[in-house]
Structure 1
Amino acid sequence: MTMPQRPDPQEQARVMQARTAAIVVAATMVLWLGAQFAGGQMGLPVRYVFLFDFAALAAFFWALVVGFRLWRARQAKE
């Protein structure tokens, strides 16, 4: 009978980072679409709509950077 291998702590950290980035992308998309819809229904000024757009862009950029760093880390490991 073989003992189960212990997961690598660095690999677990990478998995958690990837999961966090995926949640950020999904939540940002839902919140951004909701903000666009609500802004149109309430007649918000365009500057507030742009504020939502810039916040979504910042979140997407963060997720892109995290994904790129995870990809580079995996490439360096192999």
Structure 2
Amino acid sequence: MSKSQPSKIDVQNAKDSCLVAIVLVGTMALWLGAQWMGGELGWEPRFVFLFDLAALAAFFWTMVVTYRIWRRNKSVSGRN
């Protein structure tokens, strides 16, 4: 028997899921590093707050992409 090839949608979902995971981990690492550096170097809170806003933007983006993956799976399975 031959193995069935994954569909283009499955491949796209896998790529998007991997990208979401990388962005989530990278965002958390950079945000934690910025918080630590801000405390150690005595940065003003307004500069550290910029890192908070950037992290929130990245988390919002991952939520949007995750929702898109979920909708794509739902439309393929026929359960709109």
The separation in 1 between residues aligned to 2:11 and 2:2, in whole angstroms, is 19
Residue type of the alignment partner of 1:29: M
Specify the SS of the correspondent of 1:32. Answer: helix
Aligned pairs for 1:44-59 within 5 A: 44-59=43-58
How much has 1:60 moved relative to structure 2?
Answer: 0.4
How much has 1:39 moved relative to structure 2?
Answer: 0.5
The separation in 2 between residues aligned to 1:77 and 1:10, in whole angstroms, is 8
Q: RMSD of the TM alignment (CA)?
A: 0.8
Aligned pairs for 1:1-78 within 5 A: 2-78=1-77
The separation in 2 between residues aligned to 1:20 and 1:65, in whole angstroms, is 12
Specify the SS of the correspondent of 2:26. Answer: helix
Instruction: Count residues in correspondence.
Output: 77
The separation in 2 between residues aligned to 1:15 and 1:67, in whole angstroms, is 11
The separation in 1 between residues aligned to 2:34 and 2:49, in whole angstroms, is 11
> Where in structure 1 do 4 or more consecutive aligned residues deviate above 3 Å?
none
